[in-house]
Amino acid sequence: MAVQQAAGPDPYFPANGDHRYRVHRYELALDYRPGPNRLAGTARINAIAGRAALAEFQLNLADFKVGRVRVEGRPAHYTHRGGRLRVRPGKAVRAGAAFTVEVHWSGNPKPVSSPWGGLGWEELLDGALVASQPVGAPSWYPCNDRPADKASYQISITTPSAYAVVAGGRLLTRTTKASTTTWVYEQPAPTSSYLVGLAIGKYQTVLLGDPGPGGVPQHGHIPAPLLPQFSRDFARQPAMMELFQELFGTYPFEEYAVVVTEEELDVPVEAQGLSLFGANHVDGARGWERLIAHELAHQWFGNSVSIADWRHIWLNEGFAKYAEWLWSERSGGPTAQTHAAAAHRSLSGQPQDLKLADPGRKSMFDDRLYQRGGLVVHAVRCALGDEAFFRMLRGWVATHRGGSVTTATFTAHAARYASEPLDGLFRAWLEEPALPPLPEQEVRIPARPSFPPTGV
């Protein structure tokens, strides 16, 4: 059973989100014109008040013109400043009551500022994409922007017919009228606001492998000139999907899509049921295959099982990093132990001032967090042994599917699979800045011939 853990404001981003209510569903109807970069939208938000009545509440929305706000179909008073849309309904929402909010907005979308540069909506040379982690979602729609407030989504987007629209979830309809096409996507799984991904561009769509009965449909959306390189670089993604389902449990969503933009991106970005790559991540030589594994693994770790707040980001990135090592190990490359040793050597020569369980906002995306997060997972594997470790992983994913978790949730879960206490291990790796010794126990999952070795 999924557990939602979100008692108060996010300590790293206290201005984002409103913990006094939670959203059940977003229905977004958007019209986007790439030339002038013009976006107009209507959001219908179904929400539930918390334990206290709501005389007013907050949504996050960037610098757009707000045309109308209604609560339960009635006009509501509102103010819109500094990325906060404060709404005061004519009548307070009762504690525990369901209510609907309707917002109309329009303007020229652009990234929101952050310590890591612009986040969210990005206008491309010919199209647009959305990469919101961690606080970019308000750059294009009004939302309760906190990772633990997960909701289902229906997104309808109308664009000129020359453009394809890709969003996470299942494409329900595609309707062309005159020179425009409306694409309607449905994502029924609980989704964090920052994980609502979107790409608008001129893409060619390909099927990645034959999913077969009960398989996971996997599609790629690529600029036509990059298709030859993409076909080689992503050829083993279906094998990754097979391996990760074996190790982590059933893929948690209906479909999986990857988009390669014609422009370069600093890093690939995961979204719910969707990952975004730059043209620089396609080289025709599988040079970035570890990142393909990393983004796919996030569908289990980070997307389906989400963090309650950003202090716990290592749970997303550490497991995705370790999935890279597991793929390498199973596909004929270096073992996880070899990767762990290399990561440990690298970290030992860097500053020892990172507390993994609470890294601080400035260090959320520090490469040391990714590497040390992977080492924590490896240390747990060595302590449990493979049989108990992979049972623990599958249990973690199944128990918290669609929910949100904390570091304490994970340590308590892992302890149930251990024959000896893990308190010292977790204290050393998660709470103490100094790097603990590398676990020396060699562990290796047997290779299977169905997964071709690296270079084939």
State which amino acid sits at residue 256.
Y
Considering 242, 295, 324, 329, which one is annotated as catalytic?
295
Q: Examine the residue annotation and report whether 295 is marked as an active-site residue of this protein.
A: yes
Task: Tell me if 331 sits within 8 A of 429, measured CB to CB.
Answer: no
Report how far residue 59's alpha carbon sits from residue 17's, in angstroms, rounded to the nearest whole number.
7
First to last CA, the chain: 41
Q: Give the residue carrying structure tokens 């108060």.
A: 8
Q: Examine the residue annotation and report whether 255 is marked as an active-site residue of this protein.
A: no
Instruction: Of 156, 163, 154, 94, give the one whose Cα is nearest residue 126.
Output: 163
30 CA to centre of own chain: 22
Q: Which DSSP symbol is given to 54?
A: B
Residue 317 annotated in ligand binding: yes
- Three-state SS for 171? strand
Considering 163, 251, 256, 370, which one is annotated as catalytic?
370
Tokens of 307: 């963090």
CB neighbours of residue 351 within 10 Å: 9
Q: Give the residue carrying structure tokens 């647009």.
A: 128
C-alpha torsion sign, points 304, 305, 309, 310: negative
Beta partners for 98? 48
- Three-state SS for 181? strand
Report how far residue 405's alpha carbon sits from residue 355's, in angstroms, rounded to the nearest whole number.
18
Report how far residue 147's alpha carbon sits from residue 133's, in angstroms, rounded to the nearest whole number.
10
Residue 294 annotated in ligand binding: yes
Q: Note if the bond before 147 is cis, omega within 30 degrees.
A: no
Residue 413 annotated in ligand binding: no
* Residues taking part in catalysis: 295, 370
Binding site: residue ranges?
Answer: 294, 298, 317
Binding site for Zn(2+): residue ranges?
Answer: 294, 298, 317
